[in-house]
Amino acid sequence: MKDAHPENIRNVAFIAHQGTGKTTLTESLLHRIGAITRMGSVEEGNTVSDYHAEEITRQISISTTLAVGNHKDVKINLLDTPGFTDFTGEVKSAVRVTDVVGVLVHAVSGIEVGTELFWTFAEERKLPRFFFVNQCDREHVDYDEVLDSLADNYGSTVAVQYPVNPGEGFNQIVDLISMKLVTWNPDGGEKSRADIPVEHKDKADKLHLKLVEAVAETDDDLMEKFFENDGLTHNELLDGLRKGLREGTIYPVLCGAARKQVGTSLLLDFLVRTAPSPLDMPAETAGKENSDAEEEIKCDADGATVALIFKTISDKHVGDLAFFRVYRGMLSTGQDLRNTTRGKNEKIGQIFTVSGKDRKSVDSVPAGDMGAVVKLRDTHTGDTLSDGKDGAVLESVAFPEPVIRVAMEPRKQGDEEKISNALHILIEEDPSYQFEYDAELQQLIVSGQGELHLNVLIDRMKERFGVEVDLIEPKIPYRETILNSGEGQGKYKKQSGGRGQYGDCWLRLEPLPRGDDFEFVDAIVGGVIPNKFIPAVEKGVRGAMKEGVIAGYKVVDVKVTCYDGSHHSVDSSENAFKVAGSMGFKKVFKGAKPIILEPIYDVEVRVPEEFMGDVMGDISSKRGKIMGMDAEGRFQVIRAKVPLAELYKYSSTLRSLTGGRGLFKSSFSHYETVPSEIQNKLVTEYETRRTEGN
């Protein structure tokens, strides 16, 4: 390799639906360029990318892994991302720091829900993208059909290769750039690059013309040369393809079979000669730590240092590391930098280049490149490190909102503090987890991207912090309210020696519009209740509302008017009127047709069309209301309103219904009256708990 100049760096992230072969492709590329001597496999648990114990056990990628190699004097940083949607946070972090995205598509299954989801992540950042149609060695491959579906869904796609003999014996690809037939040996090495046989010439010529026309359309000068010369030269084609990829006007489509290493040498050549370098990428817009000003951060090795932490790990085998990408300047050992995201100073310790779990110590990492630093004191995923005089703050990683919430309980009493400490550390590493203690529910609520995502969290808590927990269904934050108005007396009178207690108030309760919460009105005239005791009545009412009346849930949307009462010159006190207010509220509430409300969530489910009926039926069985449907390519988006009580572990239900091809997101919508049978059940359970003293 010549040097680490940004021109000679390629930052590539592989994204795809699960089971498409990203890890195998990464392994194949590393073996082809000599970074590893033997190609591992996911099944054997010996790949560079999937080295964590939970990945080896489950045989899936859970974390984004950086793998590095050199090809033709170009350094290639490969980011192998998970395909399970439970780990979309990892995909988000990789997409944030890459320069080009390779979207893998299964040669048989074609576009899947994960393909669509992860594509939107790259679309949000307007990143250059290409497709790699993998597993062309499987039965029933129809490459032309896959090409058509890619064009229909994404537009601007154009084949730069096509498989000659897809299926079990697959070993030949026509390269439409060089117009050569490339053949591979059984060991994955290239056997030959020969002229295209006559039986394939017509198809190759047609696809080559489509490629040339697509490239010519990206540039007026190229279009002129195309018409003048009835085509483009080899170099003009490459330059135009590179420009089209960089500007997002062309999405090249490549193909291969990663496990047989067929097509990987062509992919490597494509990355070197066509994929953008950090110098080709537009400047990053950064804020300033102490002002509203912005600046453009261009890839410049001589500028003030600006780097983004895109991932942190704390592994007992690997150690504590913060992975970074340098956007300007150079990150060096011993350097004093500023965490401009958090307003903290950091001193850079030991720096590594990293490939999987292997680390190599280096003195510095230049602009455009990636590396890892021994974990910093106050710096976490998404933070910016800048030269102290500069103060630039880069856009952080946009982590997804959680889709599943559970309650977490310790198996061992007294472990609450250990659980809290473990969660704080693990969520700093993966902010797509969230947790909070819900005082109303009196539960620790943990949220994540799916059941598997949360199971991984439990495993890490046990392995790294020695704490075991159980995940249980969280309580539902029901609400109580009334449908009718009512009024009545709350009177507290107690005489048991010494000074007595006396409080007497008359209350009127009226329902308020949903969402208005609470209103208290002082309508006392003539001083029948002294002014100093009115706040005590309100305090008693609020206390009763917080405790609930018929089922123990918080009361909402009630107007309370205190309009009459009486007092005793000696025995009346704030506490007596507080008790009277509580007693009066509960008494009147029970006679004003009380009801229980439940939280309703907006749910949006994205599924292939063939699963639409099953998913809609399941939503209906969960008391959900279908609000509408929209077609998006091969997928249907179902919009519904579903009670929160029915959404526990819905991600697992949806995965089961759709074979892992369904996605959903949810958000709070409103509160709605529960059915009478559910209300009766909740009231009965509450009365039983009170009888038992719980």
Residue located via tokens 């990789």: 94
CA proximity to 33, closest of 10, 16, 13, 50 = 10
Contact 103, 117 (CB under 8 A): no
Domain boundaries, the chain: 6-280, 292-393, 404-472, 479-592, 597-677
Query: What CATH topology corresponds to 6-280?
Result: Rossmann fold (3.40.50)
* pLDDT, position 3: 45
Query: What CATH topology corresponds to 404-472?
Result: Alpha-Beta Plaits (3.30.70)
Radius of gyration, CA atoms only, the chain: 32
640 strand-pairing partners: 603, 626
Confidence of residue 290 (pLDDT cuts 50, 70, 90): confident
* pLDDT, position 268: 97
**Chain centroid to CA 32:** 32
Q: What is the DSSP string of 199-230?
A: HHHHHHHHHHHHHHHHHHTT-HHHHHHHHHHT
Does the pLDDT value for residue 106 go beyond 90? yes
pLDDT tens per residue across span 447-501: 999 899 999 999 999 988 999 999 999 999 999 999 999 999 999 998 776 678 9
pLDDT tens per residue across span 373-400: 997 888 999 999 999 777 899 999 999 8
Contact 628, 603 (CB under 8 A): no
In CATH, what number does 597-677 get?
Answer: 3.30.70.240
CA proximity to 303, closest of 98, 527, 576, 6 = 6
* pLDDT, position 316: 65
Q: How far is CA 37 from CA 48, 51, 217, 333, 573, in A?
A: 11, 17, 43, 31, 85
CA proximity to 556, closest of 617, 513, 609 = 513
Contact 136, 108 (CB under 8 A): no
- The percentage of residues in the chain with a pLDDT greater than 70, rounded to a whole number, is 98
For the ranges 112-116, 294-298, 535-539, the lowest mean pLDDT is seen at: 112-116
Q: What is the DSSP string of 483-498?
A: SS-EEEEEEEEE-SSS
CA proximity to 24, closest of 10, 43, 52 = 43
Confidence of residue 2 (pLDDT cuts 50, 70, 90): very low
* Helical segments of 466-573, H only: 534-547
Neighbours of 551 (CB within 10 A): 21
pLDDT tens per residue across span 51-105: 888 888 899 999 999 999 999 999 999 999 999 888 999 999 999 999 999 999 9
Question: By CB neighbour count within 10 A (0-12 exposed, 13-18 middle, 19+ buried), where does 568 fall?
Answer: middle
Phi and psi (nearest 5°) for 590?
-65, -25
pLDDT tens per residue across span 464-476: 899 999 999 999 9
Question: By CB neighbour count within 10 A (0-12 exposed, 13-18 middle, 19+ buried), where does 502 fall?
Answer: buried
Does the pLDDT value for residue 143 go beyond 90? yes
Q: Under 8 Å CB-to-CB from 694, ≥6 apart: which residues?
A: none
Specify the DSSP class assigned to residue 476: P
What is the pTM for the complete model shown?
Answer: 0.85
CA geometry: angle at 104 spanning 101 and 110, to 5°?
135
* pLDDT, position 652: 86
Domains 6-280 and 404-472 share a fold: no
Contact 12, 276 (CB under 8 A): no
Q: Which two tokens stand for residue 664?
A: 């959903």
Contact 246, 280 (CB under 8 A): yes
260 SS3 class: helix
- The percentage of residues in the chain with a pLDDT greater than 90, rounded to a whole number, is 80
In CATH, what number does 292-393 get?
Answer: 2.40.30.10
Q: Which residue has the higher pLDDT, 651 or 544?
A: 544
Does the pLDDT value for residue 224 go beyond 90? no
Confidence of residue 1 (pLDDT cuts 50, 70, 90): very low
Q: How far is CA 521 from CA 535, 541, 578, 590, in A?
A: 11, 12, 15, 20
pLDDT tens per residue across span 498-525: 678 999 999 999 999 999 999 999 999 9
Q: What is the H or E stretch that residue 368 is in?
A: none
* pLDDT, position 219: 83
Residue located via tokens 């990206």: 218
**Alpha-carbon distance 266 to 539, whole Å?**
75
Spatial strand order in the sheet of 392-393: 291-297, 284-288, 392-393
* pLDDT, position 315: 65
Strand intervals (E) in 217-305:
251-255, 284-288, 291-297
Using H for helix, E for strand and C for coil, what is the string for 113-161? HHHHHHHHHHHHCCCCEEEEEECCCCCCCCHHHHHHHHHHHHCCEEECE
Q: Give the CATH architecture of domain 479-592.
A: 2-Layer Sandwich (3.30)
Q: What is the DSSP string of 597-666?
A: EEEEEEEEEEEEGGGHHHHHHHHHHTT-EEEEEEEETTEEEEEEEEEGGG-TTHHHHHHHHHTT--EEEE
Q: How many residues make up the chain in this entry?
A: 694
**Alpha-carbon distance 340 to 319, whole Å?**
25
344 strand-pairing partners: 339
Contact 104, 14 (CB under 8 A): yes
pLDDT tens per residue across span 310-363: 999 886 665 689 999 999 999 999 999 999 999 999 999 999 999 999 999 999
Q: How far is CA 540 from CA 489, 535, 570, in A?
A: 13, 9, 20
**Alpha-carbon distance 343 to 690, whole Å?**
51
* pLDDT, position 694: 61
Q: Which two tokens stand for residue 636?
A: 């249907």
pLDDT tens per residue across span 543-582: 999 999 999 999 999 999 999 999 998 899 999 999 999 9
pLDDT tens per residue across span 420-447: 999 998 998 899 999 999 988 899 999 9
* pLDDT, position 661: 80
* pLDDT, position 4: 66
* pLDDT, position 116: 87
Compute the average pLDDT of residues 119-143. Answer: 95
* pLDDT, position 69: 94
Give per-residue burial for 584-611: e unless 16+ CB within 10 Å, then b. bbbbbbeebebbbbbbbbebebbbbeeb
